[in-house]
Structure 1
């Protein structure tokens, strides 16, 4: 990687509560977490991100970056803020959400656990460019993981409470891990 790698085009569109998210030093960050939105489009992902779910802080669940199917990158939270995207790892992690239907709209239904929508080449190229830039922007960044690697919680299925399903499966089986890992310096958390 070349020094002073320019940032890929990023549209900064902070969430309404972004300033209320806890602050952090960028030196705390050592992990990038790859997610899929499990929603049909970026507009719905934005609406979900804007929802206030935590009354005390008046904040919600969100990632730092969202990559749409056309490869456009949208930043909803500054790196110096802790976004709520993965239980137990938020203070050290950057959340990157790829727009993908996933299991929408029956996320936890036992009969609907396939994640078969592929990621677009434009999304993958944008993700690689973003990760390369982040590796220079945040020198402490060393690791990468999928949401599914870090949250292995099982819950009763919504359509059959006798069946347990994984709460999080993203980015899922269609995510091109090898292509991404071959293009970046970050190491995947086993």
Structure 2
């Protein structure tokens, strides 16, 4: 068993963890920052456990960081998690617990993401990113989910209007604090 990335890391593999494709660590190039757009870690775990694919797997990030700074690993970085369409094979997904647009993700009247990220959560993210870069030296870039999934979908309240399918981590994510503290370039 590998040495944990962080001494306080809580390793809690998803039920389908071993069904996810394996990959060589040298394939890792990018970290993708998400927010759960759910109210708490319990519901985020429940969403991650949902089986959505014939292979018996679902959508999940590798790591989740709760508002109190707790860091959980649901999927090992050596496995391909389904967290960003078309880019999973070479990326690590990190989910920050944040309500985002919950529960009306696609309502055109509720697209503002107003919950700030607590300092303890951001500090935990920086510690995790530094540890990931030390363990996986091929990691070189970081992006928000919103930069990588630009799809627009019909608004749930008015199908004639289009809204972003993904907006996370959102406008309140503190890129100005994270980027200077980690050895990753922002993928713009």
Q: In 2, distance between residues paired with 1:128 and 1:8?
A: 14
| Counterpart for residue 69 of structure 2 | 71
| Counterpart for residue 47 of structure 1 | 46
Could you tell me whether the CA contact under 8 Å between 1:86 and 1:147 is conserved in 2?
Answer: yes
Q: In 2, distance between residues paired with 1:79 and 1:140?
A: 13
| Counterpart for residue 182 of structure 1 | 180
1:140 alignment partner, one of 133, 138, 141: 138
Q: Secondary structure at the match of 1:96?
A: strand
| Counterpart for residue 100 of structure 1 | 98
RMSD: 0.8
Q: In 2, distance between residues paired with 1:135 and 1:120?
A: 23
Q: Which runs of 5+ in 2 are unaligned?
A: none
Shift of 1:9: 1.8
Runs of 4+ in structure 1 over 4 Å off: none
| Counterpart for residue 23 of structure 2 | 24
Q: Secondary structure at the match of 1:112?
A: coil
Q: In 2, distance between residues paired with 1:28 and 1:159?
A: 41
Could you tell me whether the CA contact under 8 Å between 1:8 and 1:133 is conserved in 2?
Answer: no
Map 1:157-172 → 2, pairs under 5 A = 157-172=155-170
Q: In 2, distance between residues paired with 1:39 and 1:79?
A: 23
Q: In 2, distance between residues paired with 1:109 and 1:8?
A: 41
Shift of 1:8: 4.7
Q: In 2, distance between residues paired with 1:79 and 1:8?
A: 17
| Counterpart for residue 87 of structure 1 | 85
Could you tell me whether the CA contact under 8 Å between 1:148 and 1:170 is conserved in 2?
Answer: yes
| Counterpart for residue 8 of structure 2 | 9
Shift of 1:7: 2.5
Q: Secondary structure at the match of 1:111?
A: coil
Shift of 1:58: 0.6
| TM-score w.r.t. length of structure 2 | 0.96
Shift of 1:182: 0.8
Could you tell me whether the CA contact under 8 Å between 1:8 and 1:129 is conserved in 2?
Answer: no
